Homo-oligomer: A and B are copies of this chain.
Amino acid sequence: MVNVTRSLAEFVVNTKAGDVPDNVVHEAKRSLLHWIGCAIGGSHERSVDCAVAAIKPFCGPPQASALGRSERLDVLHAAFINGVSTDILSFSDTHPETLIHPTGVIGPVLFALAETKRTSGRDLLHALILGFEVASRVSLAIYPWHYNRGWHITGTAGAFGAAAAAGKLLGLDETRLTCALGIAATEAAGLRGMFGSMCKSFHSGRAAENGLLAAFLAREGFTSVEDGIGGPRCFAHVLGESPDLDRVSRDLGESYEITRNTYKAFPCGVVIHPVIDACLRLRQAPGFSVSAIDAVKIRANPLVIELTGRKAPMTTLEGKLSVYHCAAAALIAGRLGEQECKPEIITRADIVALRSKVRVQVDQAIREDEAYVTLCMPDGRKLREHVEHAIGTAERPMSDAEIETKFKGLCEPYLPPATIQRLIDRCWGITDVADAGSLARLGSAG
């Protein structure tokens, strides 16, 4: 029986930055830039204010930045808060085969450490690649049973990525990293039943902190068992059912899961993405005029109505889960970002009027990332668009420029344009940055 925990520890300890192919490094840069944007974009939501207020009286020395904010927190709490910020807008990157959002858990740990221990950009990026690998491989072993049972896989398996990345930067040996992964295994938590409450983004924050704490404990000699992931009554058997442990260690170091990473183009339910994508394209069609639309006819996968069939949304969260609102807002605004999901936009007269003209027909033969949208114009003309694969899927990944645009949109409310541009430049050039902690400081609004 292979000890999968030790296999992962060996891989993380022994892999060198130079071993990683260029395409993997490039995807890691995209993941890093995208994550920083998500963390800054969510940094002023009420959940973060509450969490900061709760921990402030017990915080340690001001060691690390809260992205997008002015507070400096101790390293564990900084990882926690940045993890909470990341996931609030439901905009995190996604490993499509398991639905885990790895970078939102790993990034906060890397930034917190880089501010307390001088770390090169190359090492930081390499630790992200390794942490991503560990989190997604553990996830592959237990998906889909784990997710279907009700576990929020980012909260549970995410901590392995955080522990692995932290262990790499702290220079843990194989035995200590094995213990760190075991400690992370026994901290794993996060329920899908919490979706819709602040606890959803709590999961990524706590997973970051859990993984980092596990690495710190293991560094001091705190022990776990030999195989905390695959051993009897350990993680994969208790939070999984008949886990496929071979997925954890097969081809380790030969293929990299981060190359499969995806980024959400829009801050709303993923099943609406092809609809929004089609609406945005239709704006380019000859003869398009918002004011002239008689009807918006959508044909889409049945999940669109099941998950996002809300006809009269009022709040931001409801707007993000309404295909009617998202289609109307995309057609009117020409984009669909956080701004288009604010309550004042959701209830604006022109948006409400157009959304009442949206009709949805579901069809089991249409895939989840596919949609047909037809605009019926008063002269009888029909403008049609068929999106085969929505932007942001593995088949049609966001370009580097599109990730930059998303990044800017997320950061603009909180950072000056020059700082935003410097962050973008330093992410693309991260492997030449001598002090990766400088990115964390740039990303703070302190």
A127: which B residues are within 8 A, CB to CB?
none
A233 & B150 in contact (Cβ 8 Å cutoff): yes
Contact among B46, B54, B59, B222 with A202 in the assembled complex (CB-CB below 8 Å): B222
A213 & B54 in contact (Cβ 8 Å cutoff): yes
Say if the beta carbon of A401 comes within 8 Å of chain B.
no
Of A57, A193, A216, chain B has the most CB atoms within 10 Å of the CB of: A193
Say if the beta carbon of A196 comes within 8 Å of chain B.
yes
Contact among B51, B60, B77, B182 with A194 in the assembled complex (CB-CB below 8 Å): B182
A385: which B residues are within 8 A, CB to CB?
none
A217 & B51 in contact (Cβ 8 Å cutoff): yes
A233 & B191 in contact (Cβ 8 Å cutoff): yes
Say if the beta carbon of A277 comes within 8 Å of chain B.
no
Say if the beta carbon of A251 comes within 8 Å of chain B.
no
Contact among B53, B196, B238 with A220 in the assembled complex (CB-CB below 8 Å): B53
A189: which B residues are within 8 A, CB to CB?
186-189
A150: which B residues are within 8 A, CB to CB?
232-234, 237-238
A50 & B149 in contact (Cβ 8 Å cutoff): no
A321 to chain B, nearest CB (A): 16
Contact among B63, B219, B223, B235 with A191 in the assembled complex (CB-CB below 8 Å): B235
Say if the beta carbon of A190 comes within 8 Å of chain B.
yes
CA distance A233 to B187 in the complex (A): 19
Chain B residue with Cβ nearest A196: B225
Chain A: interface size category: 35 or more
Say if the beta carbon of A74 comes within 8 Å of chain B.
yes
Say if the beta carbon of A185 comes within 8 Å of chain B.
yes
A222 & B51 in contact (Cβ 8 Å cutoff): yes
One complex includes copies of this chain to the number of 2
CA distance A231 to B192 in the complex (A): 11
Say if the beta carbon of A55 comes within 8 Å of chain B.
yes
Chain B residue with Cβ nearest A64: B58
B155 & A186 in contact (Cβ 8 Å cutoff): yes
Say if the beta carbon of A119 comes within 8 Å of chain B.
no
A233 & B76 in contact (Cβ 8 Å cutoff): no
CA distance A238 to B183 in the complex (A): 21
CA distance A202 to B223 in the complex (A): 10
A422 to chain B, nearest CB (A): 29
A74 & B50 in contact (Cβ 8 Å cutoff): no
A355 to chain B, nearest CB (A): 28
A235: which B residues are within 8 A, CB to CB?
191, 193
CA distance A75 to B234 in the complex (A): 30
A179 to chain B, nearest CB (A): 8
A61: which B residues are within 8 A, CB to CB?
57-58
CA distance A186 to B150 in the complex (A): 11
A219: which B residues are within 8 A, CB to CB?
54
A201 to chain B, nearest CB (A): 10
A231 & B186 in contact (Cβ 8 Å cutoff): no
A77 to chain B, nearest CB (A): 8
8 A-B contact pairs sorted by A residue (CB < 8 Å): A51-B220, A53-B220, A191-B228, A192-B233, A193-B237, A194-B224, A194-B234, A197-B225
**Shortest 5 CB-CB contacts between residues of A and residues of B:** A193-B233, A150-B233, A193-B234, A150-B238, A50-B222
